Amino acid sequence: MSSSTHNGPLLADLSQICMAYSLWKQEMHDYQAAFHIYYRKALFKGGFAVFSGLDQVLEILNNFKFTDEDISYLKSLKNSDDSDAFEEDFLDYLKTLTADIEVHAVEEGTIIFPNIPIVRVTGNIIVAQLLEACLLNAVNFNTLVTTKAARIAIAAKSSPVWEYGLRRAQGSEAALRAARGAWIAGCAGTTNVLAAKHFNIPLVNTMSHSWVLAHDTEEEAFKNYIQSSPKQQILVIDTFDIEEGIKKLITVLDDLKLPEEKLPHAVRIDSGDLVENSKIVRKVLNDAGYKSVKIVASGDLDEYIVEDLKNRGARIDIYCIGTKLVTAFDEPALSGIYKLSAIRKSKDMDWQYKIKKTNDFTKITNPGVQQVKRYFINGFMQCDVVYEEGGTPSDMAVNFKTGLTDYPDGEGQDLLQPIFANGEQICEDPDIHKSREACLGTIQKMNRGMKAILFPEPHRVLLDDNLNRIKNELLRPSY
C-alpha cells in the first residue's frame, strides 16, 4: 500500500463523509468555511510544544482526490435497511471534488502554545470537513513526539541525545516519524537505519548485551567487537557486573595498544545507579589513560531522569533514549482539535462568525478567520496574540488563561504562512534540517523559565480585543 493510499480522502472518520453527504443534500456544498487546528492543554507538565508533521500535511493536501477504487468502496456501503448509504449523484460529485481550499500553517519546528492556531483551512466546506481527521492525525502525533524529544534535549543541555526507540515504537511508521521528530527537536542522531537513510540524519551505533552473551568471556566479546565492528564502537559493559566489566575492557585495550583514533568511541551503561556507576567508570577510564572514551547512558530515560542525573553530577556524555521518547510515554496524545470558526455561502460574501458554546470555559472556541502574531523584545518571546486575518491587532487583548486584560508589546511577526491554494502546494517542501534550525532557533528565543521541565513560566497567549468583543457578543444568550 503506497503512502498516497494512506493519505487519500478515505483517511477520514465515517461521520465526515456522512456530513459531506448531508451538506450536499441540503445544497450547502458550495459554502465556504474556516477551520483552525490548535491544542488546548500544554504537554508533559510543560509550557510549549513543537509544531511538526508539515510534510505529511502537504502530502494529504496534494493527494486529495477520490479514486475509482474509493468511489467503488463507498458505493458498497449500506444502511441498516440494506439501502445504499450514498446516492449515485453524490458519489459522482465526489469524483469531481478537488482541494479547492487555502491552507496556512506555522513553520515546521516553531514553538507553539495552547490556543494559538497552527493550521488554518479556508474554502469549500465539504473539502475542509473531509480533511479534519487526517490533518489532525498528521499534526497530533508528530507534534507530540517532537515535543517530547525537545524537552529531553533541553534537559540534557549540551550533552548529545540519541534516539533509540525503534524496538518500542507503536509500529514502523511511528518509529520513522519519531526519529524525524527527534532530529528536528535537537537530538544528535538515531540508531534507526531506515530513518537515517530516508531523512538524511546521522546514524549512531551501539552494541547490545546479546553480543557479550554470545561469547565465552567478556574479554573475548570486547576484543572481537573492537577488531571487527565498524567505526564508532559503543561497548556495553554492564552485562554482568559493571565494575568488573570496565576493568576487563581496560585489560583488552591495554593489550591491543590501539592509537587514540582507533579506540572505542564510548562505553554504555544500561542499568544500576547511573550517577555512581558513571563516576566509577569515568575514574577507571581516566586513570587508565582513556580520557577520550565517552560514557553513554540508557535504560528507560526521559527528561525528568536526565535532568536529575545532571543535577546529581553524573559523568554521562551521551544519553540514549528509546521507549519514553518514541511513545511519548507519560502523555500519549496531543489535545489537538479542528474547529469551524466562520462560514459564508460564497466567496464574495462576508464571513459569519461561529463559536462553540459550552459550560466548560476551556472548550469555548474562538470566532473568525484567525492569524497569530508573536511579539519579541530584544529577541525574546513576549506574547502571542490571536487576531482577525486581514486586520491589525489592537493595543489591548485578553489573556486566555487568566481572563485578564493584557497589553501586547514588542515587535510582532505573523506565524501563519500560506502553504496551499487553488489545489496546489505554494510553499517549498519541508526540509528537515531547516525545521531543526527553526526549532533550535525558536528555543533560543524563549527565556530560561519558559523552558523549565517542571513548573515553567507561562507564555502569554492573548485574544485580541476586537475578536474578544465579537466572541462575547456571540456568547450572549439570544431570547
Q: What's the whole-number mean pLDDT along residues 202-213?
A: 93
**How many whole angstroms separate alpha carbon 425 and alpha carbon 430?**
11
Q: What percent of the chain has pLDDT over 70?
A: 98
Could you give the count of Cα atoms lying within 13 Å of 55 in the half-sphere of its Cβ? 15
pLDDT digits (tens, 9 = 90+) for 433-471: 999 999 999 999 999 999 999 999 999 999 999 999 999
Does residue 393 surpass a pLDDT of 50? yes
Residues in the chain: 479
Cβ atoms 277, 300 nearer than 8 A: no
**How many whole angstroms separate alpha carbon 424 and alpha carbon 461?**
32
pLDDT, residue 399, reads 95
Same fold, 3-144+337-363+414-454 and 146-326: no
pLDDT digits (tens, 9 = 90+) for 251-305: 999 999 999 989 999 999 999 999 999 999 999 999 999 999 999 999 999 999 9
Domain 146-326: what homologous superfamily? Aldolase class I (3.20.20.70)
> In the numeric block, which cell numbers belong to residue 6?
494512506
Q: Would you identify the CATH topology of the domain 3-144+337-363+414-454?
A: nicotinate phosphoribosyltransferase (3.20.140)
**Beta strands 32-39 and 294-297: pairing type?**
unpaired
pLDDT, residue 321, reads 97
pLDDT grade for 2, boundaries at 50, 70 and 90:
very low
pLDDT, residue 359, reads 84
pLDDT grade for 478, boundaries at 50, 70 and 90:
low
pLDDT digits (tens, 9 = 90+) for 307-331: 999 999 999 999 999 999 999 999 9
Q: Can you give the pTM of this predicted structure?
A: 0.95
Average pLDDT score, the chain: 95
Q: What's the whole-number mean pLDDT along residues 214-233?
A: 90
Does residue 1 surpass a pLDDT of 50? no
Which contacts (CB < 8 Å, 24+ apart) does range 200-206 have? 200/432, 200/433, 201/432, 204/162, 204/232, 204/234, 205/229, 205/230, 205/232, 205/233, 205/234, 206/164, 206/234, 206/236, 206/268, 206/296, 206/298, 206/320
Closest listed residue to residue 468, CA positions, set 403, 402, 384: 403
Q: What's the whole-number mean pLDDT along residues 101-107?
A: 98
Does residue 479 surpass a pLDDT of 80? no
Residue 417: strand, helix, or coil:
strand
pLDDT, residue 5, reads 45
DSSP state of 31: -
Looking at the DSSP assignment, which residues form a beta bridge with residue 392?
A: none
Give the DSSP per-residue string, 97-148: ----EEEEEPPTT-EE-TTS-SEEEEEEHHHHHHTHHHHHHHHHHHHHHHHH
Q: CA triplet 432, 438, 443: central angle to 5 degrees?
A: 130
> In the numeric block, which cell numbers belong to residue 40?
488546548
Q: How many CB atoms lie within 10 A of CB 387?
A: 25
Does residue 218 surpass a pLDDT of 60? yes
Q: Map out the domains of the chain as residue ranges.
A: 3-144+337-363+414-454, 146-326
Does residue 50 surpass a pLDDT of 80? yes
Q: What's the whole-number mean pLDDT along residues 79-88?
A: 96
pLDDT grade for 361, boundaries at 50, 70 and 90:
confident
pLDDT, residue 4, reads 42
Q: What's the whole-number mean pLDDT along residues 123-134?
A: 97
pLDDT, residue 253, reads 97
pLDDT digits (tens, 9 = 90+) for 400-416: 989 999 999 999 999 99
Residue 423: strand, helix, or coil:
coil
User: How remote is the C-alpha of 54 from its chain's centroid?
Assistant: 10
Give the DSSP per-residue string, 306-362: HHHHHHTT---SEEEE-HHHHTTTT-----EEEEEEEEESSTTSPPEE-----SSGG
**Largest interatomic CA distance in the chain:** 91
Q: What's the whole-number mean pLDDT along residues 343-368?
A: 92
Task: Tell me which H or E stretch contains 437.
Answer: helix 432-444
DSSP state of 456: P
pLDDT digits (tens, 9 = 90+) for 155-183: 999 999 999 999 999 999 999 999 999 99
User: In this structure, what are the phi and psi dihedrals at residue 44, rounded to the nearest 5 degrees?
Assistant: 55, 35
